[in-house]
Amino acid sequence: MTLGDRHIRLFMTAVLASLILILLTYPASPFLFQLFIGNRHFSYAVMAAALVIVAFCLKNNRLYVKYKLPINSFYFINIGIIFSIILTIFKTGSVSPVRDLIIITVILVFLFLVRGRAYLSVIRCYCMVCAVICACCTFTYMLYVMFPSLQTDWIVTSIGLSADNPILSRHEMGDFEYSLLFHIGSLLMSPEVGLTIIPAFFTEPSYVFAYLSAPLFFAAMDRGMTGRYFIFLSLLISLALVVSTYTIIVLLLSLTVILLASISRFVSIKNLTCSTVVLVLLLVFYAPFFPWVLSLLPLDKVGQFDYYFGARLTESLAGGLSLFGSTLDEFHPRSWGVTIVLFRYGIFGFSLFLASVVFYLLLSLRLLFNTAMPRRERISGFLMMFVTALMALKTPNLLLLTNLLFYVGLINYFELFSDHLCVEC
């Protein structure tokens, strides 16, 4: 391969990684949302088609399908999710399931075409693109701190954003105010307590961990990644600047599991899983425990907790829940995270979503307890899958595509560079 061919291939890898990031984060990023010019749905379809074309350009020379595929829970869950999306489209005719069907199809085509070192190059470039954007956001945050007047000068209602930009909807809800300096770095301000946090290039602080924790921990694991220290530090700083109650809970839970795994003589995957299930059941059904928990949470989280486990959600379920989903107009007017998945895709789709979360959680535990692997790879792989899977409970999306991409990335990484591969379930 000549030097010119390498440069062209590197450019296409960067384009492919950028397209994946843009499509995966839609519509959670007000910055990337601005790249969808004109009709959003048409732009989305064009970008999806461009992703497939670039993937064909980077495809492996020899493509093959295994004669006997390992029939396991991973394939059953993903086939079921696709089937659920198709049923929801026929039942409701909503746009969101169509978009989900497009992105899952495009990602599966990409996974089939690009493998091995080429796939690993795309994942590494994906991490670099995330790091560069986060570095820009951190710079804008520093400007916010040095020049406080910028917070009001770049308020989202006065900088000419398109009317359907998601950050305007969040701003109009009134619980927070948003500023978008240079249309890149978003600052979230609470009028009540004066809290200012930086959710990088997302509308919701918890989305930062949902989308960026996997690239962070992959950079921590992959020593062959170009610009690894820049990627790691850039993502770490962006994540450290985020204040989110749910992410703090997830990180504390992750550290607890790692601590328990360090005394694996007494703890097994089975025992740890059973203990987690019992703890969740106690939290949900043991009512006297609620007041103590709620006293630790901010007021806005108390409202969400009351919605998830209170009478309002029960009334909504009784009035609008179905087997294969409801239209957007039938949603409860104030839903969060997974409740949107429940209403949009119904009981069938929601069950598959939970099965997918459980699959990646169990996979993360298998990585953590695989003592044949180096400690750095075990802990990084565990955090990559565990944190991202739990953060998916805060995103209103049926598809755990970040988990899927980095799960396949782990498989390719271990096949190429490790003699201790055991991640396929």
Indicate the domain borders of the chain. Answer: 244-425
pTM equals 0.83
Backbone angles phi, psi at 326, to 5 degrees: -130, 165
Inter-axis angle of helices 338-368 and 245-262, nearest 10: 20
Q: How far apart are CA 361 and CA 365, in angstroms?
A: 6
Residue 127 has pLDDT above 90, yes or no: yes
Q: Tell me the mean pLDDT in the region 124-139.
A: 89
For residue 193, count other CB atoms closer than 10 A to its CB.
Answer: 9
Nearest alpha carbon to residue 365 among 219, 232, 248, 267: 267
Residue 119 has pLDDT above 70, yes or no: yes
Joined tokens for residue 177:
């105010």
Which residues are CB-neighbours of 380 under 8 A, at least 6 positions away? Answer: 217, 218, 220, 221
Q: What is the pLDDT of residues 208-255, one digit of tens each?
A: 888 889 999 999 888 888 888 999 999 988 888 877 777 887 888 888
Reduced 3-state DSSP string for 34-70: CCCCCCHHHHHHHHHHHHHHHHHHCCCCCCCCCCCCC
Stated as kind and residue range, the H or E segment containing 155 is none
Please report where in the chains the tokens 């989202």 appear, as a residue.
156
Joined tokens for residue 370:
């695989």
Cβ contact 419:279 at 8 Å: no
- Residue 91 corresponds to which amino acid? K
pLDDT at 20: 92
Query: Of all residues in the chain, what percent are helix, strand and coil, respectively (each to 5)?
Result: 70, 5, 30
Joined tokens for residue 121:
């190059």
Among 172-181, 301-310, 398-407, the range of highest mean pLDDT:
398-407
pLDDT at 281: 57
